[in-house]
Amino acid sequence: MARSSSGFVAGLTAAAVVAVGFLAYQASATAPADLSAKAKAPAASPSVPAPGGPRQPGRSALALPESSGKGVRVVYALSERRVWLVGAKDKVTRTFAVMPSTVNPPPGTYAVTSRSSTVAGSDGVQIEHVVRFANVGGVTIGFSAAVNGTLPTPDPARKTGGIRMKRADGDAMWLFATVNSKVVVVP
């Protein structure tokens, strides 16, 4: 009996160590690299963009907006509801449509402040590959993908900051946009 209960206790201890290690990893993944760092963002009121907003004449809907800056960056076009991952030499490595949140960041340049592998979204949906980069009126703004793969239109009565994308696009964003990566938001 002593032998089997000692094996049982050893198993419980190992399980507890694994659980604590997992929780410690989750906590470290959600904390910003520098707790005093804040995203550089101009003050503005939140708004929901109109779908398929204005484009530059003669420009394809998939073309990178000209006013999106230079260098390695994530570009988010509010009116087009589209993201571009831009690598070295201003080469677009991926572009995809997104579902905007009800609270949007004003146009400007930001930096990724924190990331989480999986959490519950502000709308209660389980999300993954969360890449946060702004805060508007107390609402944290970031890119994410719903674990269940859905892209529902957000409830306009709720203030949410999750810019949702398909899971494959979320995987690409997660690999591309690490803490301190540049995010450029254009109208």
| pLDDT tens for each residue of 70-110 | 999 999 999 999 999 999 999 999 999 999 999 999 999 99
Element (H, E) at 27: helix 2-30
Give the pLDDT confidence score for residue 6 in this predicted structure. 57
Distances in Å between the Cα of 15 and the Cα atoms of 12, 19, 78, 118, 130 are 5, 6, 46, 21, 27
Q: Which amino acid is at 59?
A: R
Q: Is 94 exposed, middle or buried (CB count within 10 Å of its CB: 0-12, 13-18, 19+)?
A: middle
* DSSP SS3 for 50: coil
Question: Are 64 and 93 within 8 A, CB to CB?
Answer: no
Pairwise CA distance, residues 56 & 43, whole Å: 26
pLDDT at 2 over 70: no
Q: Stretch 136-143: mean pLDDT, rounded? A: 95
User: How do residues 117-128 score in pLDDT, each as one tens digit?
Assistant: 999 987 788 999
DSSP E strands in the chain: the ranges are 73-77, 82-86, 92-97, 108-111, 114-120, 126-136, 139-146, 162-165, 182-186
User: How do residues 29-78 score in pLDDT, each as one tens digit?
Assistant: 434 443 333 333 333 333 333 334 444 455 566 889 988 999 999 999 99
pTM: 0.68
Region of 108 (left: φ > 0; alpha: ψ -120 to 50; beta: rest) is left
Give the pLDDT confidence score for residue 7 in this predicted structure. 57
131 vs 29, higher pLDDT = 131
**Do strands 182-186 and 73-77 pair parallel, antiparallel, or not at all (unpaired)?**
parallel
* DSSP SS3 for 128: strand
Domain covering 34-53+67-186 in this structure, CATH number: 2.40.440.10
124: phi then psi, degrees, rounded to nearest 5: 90, -5
Mean pLDDT of the chain: 78
